[in-house]
Amino acid sequence: MVRIARVYESAAKSDGYRVLVDRLWPRGLKKEAAKLDEWMKEIGPSDALRKWFGHQPARWKEFEKRYRAELGKKIELIGQLRDAEKKHGTLTLLYGAKDEEHNQAVVLRDLLKGKG
């Protein structure tokens, strides 16, 4: 099972393996408070894509398309996430954005679930 959650939310036992998928560390969050198993910053969107998107919902479809293209070059990292899900049963992808519907964790979750 692949889930997503804001990194600012409290960790739950049901989270399984917790992976932060942001390229930048979330503002104002102490590392101990994040309760991460892993920070996979390399799987986050490129700086150029992240800045272009700017969390503007109107750019979501194009962001999703461009980010999937970037992920197509990160097969090994995608494999590591799939392995973590198999090993732990549940994989929780953590993100720092305020928008719960328009962020890279949504794209990653859908990719790992075989959607799109």
Q: What is the pLDDT of residue 116?
A: 60
pLDDT of 115 over the 90 cut:
no
**Structural domains counted in the chain:** 1
pLDDT digits (tens, 9 = 90+) for 6-22: 999 999 999 999 999 99
Domain residues for the domain of 74 are 2-112
- Residue 12 DSSP class: -
Q: Return the biggest CA–CA distance within the chain.
A: 37
pLDDT digits (tens, 9 = 90+) for 42-88: 999 999 999 999 999 999 999 999 999 999 999 999 999 999 999 99
Model pTM score: 0.94
Q: What is the pLDDT of residue 1?
A: 95
3-class secondary structure, 11: coil
Q: What is the pLDDT of residue 76?
A: 96
Runs of H (alpha helix) within 2-103: 31-34, 47-53, 60-71, 75-88
Backbone angles phi, psi at 102, to 5 degrees: -125, 80
pLDDT digits (tens, 9 = 90+) for 25-42: 999 999 888 999 999 999
Strand-strand pairing, 2-6 and 38-39? unpaired
Backbone angles phi, psi at 13, to 5 degrees: -60, -30
3-class secondary structure, 2: strand
For residue 92, the one-letter residue type is: T
3 strand-pairing partners:
92
